[in-house]
């Protein structure tokens, strides 16, 4: 009997070893492009146009009463002057005062349209003297366009319009109708911009074949195990939820406190929540990314990722170790605000904690609320939703026309980069368009190094002139490649 068991165990190990070796051996030596590469030279797009756009401080604030709409009026005049052909030849509509909808009629009346979305509002600036050039100067210096919006997201608006202007000059007419929707309040949720634009499209029964919004970028040195730069194309987006945990107490003077104050009960609950995160899993968009990039990895991680069926627990353990990769494999919780009494010798009548969650596709808002109540495990701690919750998106088709068109345009303009699907851990205006199409892609051809990451919404935002010109070329190629 023992011999039979040992024999069976030996056969099983040999079979597992054979599968392991086969999974590694069948991989190509590098991550192959899925489409032939026809490299093109960047267009000589004038960076002064982007610089002029940056000089218009279209800042969004959470408090609508402090928003200065003068710059938004100036933006309207600016784009008409900078892109005359576009505003003469395309149907151009103003939606809800400051958002814009462009329709470029295609040759085929039967083909469903393609939607490109972007936004031209920017986040406020804390100009504490750390900026190398004033944040709204649009300075052209050292090969860069400097200023707020040069990366996020005026570069996309100007690149799309510049590519359109060039194609119109050449007499180009797209096969499918192209629709451009540019919002004016993405940085504060998009409810007055993208939501209204999407409502207009839905009212007209315009349901795009696919759409492209902001999101992922070209990373250079950000993914440490791969030497090549990678164009990560977002095929899914995490959901958004903010919960308030609160405990009510009797209040009173601290000279005669209870054994556990409201703040103490709450603190223990928050600690239990942080110490029991939601379970991690390697699936969906994150798994698709690693599957695509595995051939380009060094031998050890390549062997591990090629055999996820065997090493997934180990891989998850490793991915949990970095905040950036941990966010790819689970719904995250971040405790951001704590409140108690308003004086050190007063017992709180109410103690509260604000917790922000980013939902992994497959986890729902209801799932998270149930998890929180179970993790807290104390009936004294109440839970309520704060603000507007957004479910995680569906995962868009990686094998469809949209992904292939974007990837082909990337390959032609950036032949030196790898491409891969990815999960966007932030949120974008694309959530407002989700009822219109199931294929939403989130990507900007911004070349981003680790040093550039803090520039998003941070100090010294800038875009290399070469990157801007390649970005215009990317949209030029993408519009031409749409079938």
Tell me the average confidence (pLDDT) per consecutive run of 10 residues in the chain, 483 residues long: 50 43 54 63 96 98 95 98 98 98 96 98 90 97 98 98 98 97 97 98 98 97 90 98 97 95 98 98 97 95 95 96 95 98 97 98 98 98 97 97 97 97 97 97 97 95 98 98 83
**Is 417 in contact with 229 (CB distance < 8 Å)?**
yes
β-bridge partners, 346: 253
Which sign does the torsion angle of CA 85, 88, 94, 98 carry?
positive
Instruction: Decide: helix, strand or coil at residue 141.
Output: strand
**Is 457 in contact with 188 (CB distance < 8 Å)?**
no
What CATH architecture is 47-218+396-481?
A: 3-Layer(aba) Sandwich (3.40)
**Is 406 in contact with 414 (CB distance < 8 Å)?**
no
186 classed as catalytic = yes
What CA–CA distance (Å, rounded) separates 147 from 53? Answer: 10
DSSP-assigned states of every residue in 77-131: HHHHHH-HHHHHHSEEEEETTTEEEEEE--S-SSSPPEEEEEE--B-----SS--
| The predicted structure's pLDDT at residue 13 | 40
What CA–CA distance (Å, rounded) separates 239 from 361? Answer: 7
What CA–CA distance (Å, rounded) separates 240 from 357? Answer: 6
- Of 415, 427, 413, 414, which Cα lies nearest the Cα of 480? 413
What CA–CA distance (Å, rounded) separates 150 from 59? Answer: 13
What CA–CA distance (Å, rounded) separates 349 from 247? Answer: 8
- Delimit the domains of the chain by residue range: 47-218+396-481, 239-390
**Is 357 in contact with 370 (CB distance < 8 Å)?**
no
According to DSSP, the β-strands at 239-248 and 382-390 are antiparallel
> Which residue has tokens 């007063």?
346
| The predicted structure's pLDDT at residue 143 | 98
Instruction: Decide: helix, strand or coil at residue 10.
Output: helix
How far is Cα of residue 395 from the mean position of the Cα atoms in its chain? Answer: 13
**Is 288 in contact with 232 (CB distance < 8 Å)?**
no
What CATH architecture is 239-390?
A: 2-Layer Sandwich (3.30)
Q: What is the pTM of this model?
A: 0.92
| Topology agreement, domain 47-218+396-481 and domain 239-390 | no
What CA–CA distance (Å, rounded) separates 413 from 59? Answer: 32
- Of 430, 365, 43, which Cα lies nearest the Cα of 233? 430
Torsion angles phi and psi, residue 121, rounded to 5: -80, 160
| The predicted structure's pLDDT at residue 258 | 95
Beta-carbon contacts of 6 under 8 Å, excluding residues fewer than 6 positions away, are none
Task: Please report, for residues 209, 249, 253, the alpha-carbon distance to residue 258 in angstroms, rounded to integers and kept in the order given.
Answer: 62, 10, 10
How far is Cα of residue 388 from the mean position of the Cα atoms in its chain? Answer: 18
- Of 359, 395, 431, which Cα lies nearest the Cα of 286? 395
Q: Of 165, 185, 186, 220, which one is the catalytic site residue? A: 186
Structural tokens at position 93: 């509509």
């Amino acid at each position: 009997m023992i011999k039979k068991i040992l024999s069976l165990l030996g056969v099983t190990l040999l079979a597992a070893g054979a599968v392991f070796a086969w999974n590694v051996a069948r991989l190509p030596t590098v991550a192959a492009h899925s489409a032939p590469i026809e490299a093109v030279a960047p267009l000589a797009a004038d960076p002064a146009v982007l610089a002029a756009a940056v000089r218009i401080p279209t800042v969004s604030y959470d408090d609508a009463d402090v928003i200065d709409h003068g710059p938004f009026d100036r933006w309207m005049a600016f784009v008409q002057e900078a892109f005359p052909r576009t505003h003469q030849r395309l149907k151009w509509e103003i939606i809800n005062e400051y958002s814009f909808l462009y329709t470029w009629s295609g040759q085929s009346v039967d083909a469903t349209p393609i939607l490109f979305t972007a936004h031209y509002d920017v986040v406020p600036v804390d100009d504490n003297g750390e900026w190398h050039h004033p944040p709204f100067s649009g300075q052209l210096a050292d090969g860069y366009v400097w200023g707020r919006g040069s990366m996020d997201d005026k570069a996309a608006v100007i690149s799309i319009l510049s590519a359109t202007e060039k194609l119109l000059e050449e007499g180009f007419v797209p096969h499918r109708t192209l629709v451009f929707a540019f919002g004016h309040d993405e940085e504060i949720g998009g409810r007055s911009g993208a939501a209204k634009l999407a409502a207009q499209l839905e009212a007209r029964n315009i349901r795009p074949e696919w759409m492209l919004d902001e999101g992922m970028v070209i990373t250079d040195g950000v993914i440490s195990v791969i030497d090549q730069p990678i164009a990560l194309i977002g095929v899914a987006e995490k959901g958004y939820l903010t919960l308030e945990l609160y405990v009510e107490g009797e209040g009173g003077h601290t000279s005669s406190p209870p054994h556990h104050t409201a703040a103490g009960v709450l603190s223990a609950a928050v600690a239990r929540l942080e110490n029991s995160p939601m379970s991690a899993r390697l699936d969906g968009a994150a798994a698709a990314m690693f599957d695509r990039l595995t051939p380009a990895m060094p031998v050890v991680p390549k062997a591990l990722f090629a055999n996820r069926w065997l090493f997934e627990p180990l891989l998850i353990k490793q991915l949990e170790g970095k905040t950036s990769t941990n966010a790819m494999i689970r719904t995250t919780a971040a405790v951001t605000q704590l409140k108690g009494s308003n004086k050190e010798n007063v017992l709180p009548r109410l103690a509260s904690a604000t917790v922000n969650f980013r939902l992994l596709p497959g986890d729902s808002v209801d799932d998270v609320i149930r998890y929180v109540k179970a993790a807290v495990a104390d009936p004294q701690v109440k839970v309520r939703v704060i603000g507007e919750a957004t479910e995680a998106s569906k995962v868009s088709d990686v094998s469809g026309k949209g992904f292939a068109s974007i990837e082909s345009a990337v390959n032609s303009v950036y032949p030196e980069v790898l491409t891969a699907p990815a999960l966007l851990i932030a949120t974008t205006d694309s959530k407002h368009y989700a009822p219109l199409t199931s294929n939403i892609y989130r990507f900007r051809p911004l070349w981003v190094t680790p040093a550039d990451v803090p520039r998003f919404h941070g100090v010294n935002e800038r875009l290399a002139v070469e990157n801007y010109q390649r970005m215009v070329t990317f949209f030029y190629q993408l519009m031409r490649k749409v079938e």
